[in-house]
Amino acid sequence: MSDLSDKPCIICVAITGSLPTKENNPAVPITVAEQIESTHEAFEAGATIAHCHVRDDEGKPTSDPERFARLKEGLEQHCPGMIVQLSTGGRSGAGTTRGGMLPLAPDMASLSVGSNNFPTRVYENPPDLVDWLASEMLKYGVKPEIEAFDLSHILQAAKMHKDGRIKDTPYVQFVMGVKNAMPVDREVFDYYIYTVKRLFGENTPWCAAGIGPNQIVLNDWAVSAGGHARTGLEDNVRIDRDTLAPSNAALVKRVTDLCEKYERPVASWQQARQILGLRAA
Ligand SMILES: [Zn+2]
């Protein structure tokens, strides 16, 4: 195994998502106040990116820019230095409403560059919408995180980078274990890493996320392979088969434990910003 002791690991916490409810796990933060508190705990535990969705008064996913603004402001106040990443994912709205929060100029936003199946529907990302979201990110200086649900999404990101639709080297997240999309497959995972290195350079940072019980599997693979890791209640509400995760912070702790196991430092927010080429907070 290569030496990981000089490779700080960035931990992203996906605090809420579009799907989990209080019935699934009472620790899922739904209101903006709950989200800020939960993120703060996760930040103290070692997370340095907060991946954020917002919910409306009924707890349903929304892309309401006003809610995103309140959340972003609260996070900047209570978690100074933490990287704020807002979701432009497709469950919270249709068409350009998905990017209505980009004028808030968060540090980062998620960007899906292609379509695929989700558990019960098509995750639709038509080319004109992808281009519009990318152009808004360019306009407001928002760094995209490319959500790779498929190998083709990595190659599409490379194409968009080459022709200027994405400014900096793409930061790709491999998402595995979404039902009806890419399963958790070690050979595909290794090929994803190989592809990122081939297209963007040997030292290009990348990250990975697994869904449900596979969250910890992808955390382990990513930490041990020199990548960065995503955790949080958006992707998984359990610590193990029988136990609900008590908090986002508890899921972050699982990743810091893995960092210890593989002798990797956990990235500080300053290191995370430097690795990702983001402005100092
Ligand atoms: Zn998300």
List pLDDT tens digits, range 36-81.
999 999 999 999 999 999 999 999 999 999 999 999 999 999 999 9
Residue 87 pLDDT grade (very low, low, confident, very high; cuts 50, 70, 90): very high
Report how far ligand 1's centroid is from the alpha carbon of 18 (Å): 7
Report how far ligand 1's centroid is from the alpha carbon of 29 (Å): 14
Report how far ligand 1's centroid is from the alpha carbon of 12 (Å): 11
Report how far ligand 1's centroid is from the alpha carbon of 13 (Å): 10
Report how far ligand 1's centroid is from the alpha carbon of 70 (Å): 18
Burial grade of 31 (CB within 10 A; 0-12, 13-18, 19 or more): middle
Are 171 and 143 in contact, with CB atoms under 8 Å apart? yes
Burial grade of 139 (CB within 10 A; 0-12, 13-18, 19 or more): exposed
Mean pLDDT for the stretch of residues 111-137: 96
Share of the chain above pLDDT 90, in %: 95
Show Cβ contacts of residue 2 under 8 Å, excluding neighbours closer than 6 positions: 226
Mean pLDDT for the stretch of residues 2-28: 95
Is a pLDDT exceeding 60 seen at residue 1?
no
Report how far ligand 1's centroid is from the alpha carbon of 112 (Å): 11
- pLDDT recorded at residue 88: 96
Report how far ligand 1's centroid is from the alpha carbon of 3 (Å): 31
Is a pLDDT exceeding 80 seen at residue 219?
yes
Rounded to the nearest integer, the mean pLDDT of the chain is: 96
Helix axes 186-200, 215-224, angle to 10 degrees: 40
List pLDDT tens digits, range 229-275.
999 999 999 999 999 999 999 999 999 999 999 999 999 999 999 99
Report how far ligand 1's centroid is from the alpha carbon of 1 (Å): 32
- pLDDT recorded at residue 94: 77
Show Cβ contacts of residue 270 under 8 Å, excluding neighbours closer than 6 positions: 81, 280
Distance (Å) of CA 57 to CA 15, 30, 47, 54, 168: 17, 9, 27, 10, 37
Report how far ligand 1's centroid is from the alpha carbon of 102 (Å): 15
- pLDDT recorded at residue 92: 63
Would the pTM of this model clear 0.95, i.e. be above it? yes
Are 108 and 101 in contact, with CB atoms under 8 Å apart? no
List pLDDT tens digits, range 179-217.
999 999 999 999 999 999 999 999 999 999 999 999 999
Neighbouring-strand partners of residue 143 = 108
Residue 280 pLDDT grade (very low, low, confident, very high; cuts 50, 70, 90): confident
Report how far ligand 1's centroid is from the alpha carbon of 77 (Å): 22
- pLDDT recorded at residue 22: 97
Q: How far apart are CA 27 and CA 241, in angstroms?
A: 17
Q: How far apart are CA 52 and CA 75, in angstroms?
A: 10
Report how far ligand 1's centroid is from the alpha carbon of 53 (Å): 6
Domain boundaries, the chain: 11-276
Candidates 3.40.47.10, 3.30.110.30, 3.40.50.1110, 3.20.20.70; correct CATH number of 11-276?
3.20.20.70
Report how far ligand 1's centroid is from the alpha carbon of 56 (Å): 16
Report how far ligand 1's centroid is from the alpha carbon of 190 (Å): 23
Report how far ligand 1's centroid is from the alpha carbon of 44 (Å): 21
Sign of the C-alpha dihedral computed for residues 43, 77, 8 and 190 taken in this order: positive
- pLDDT recorded at residue 279: 86
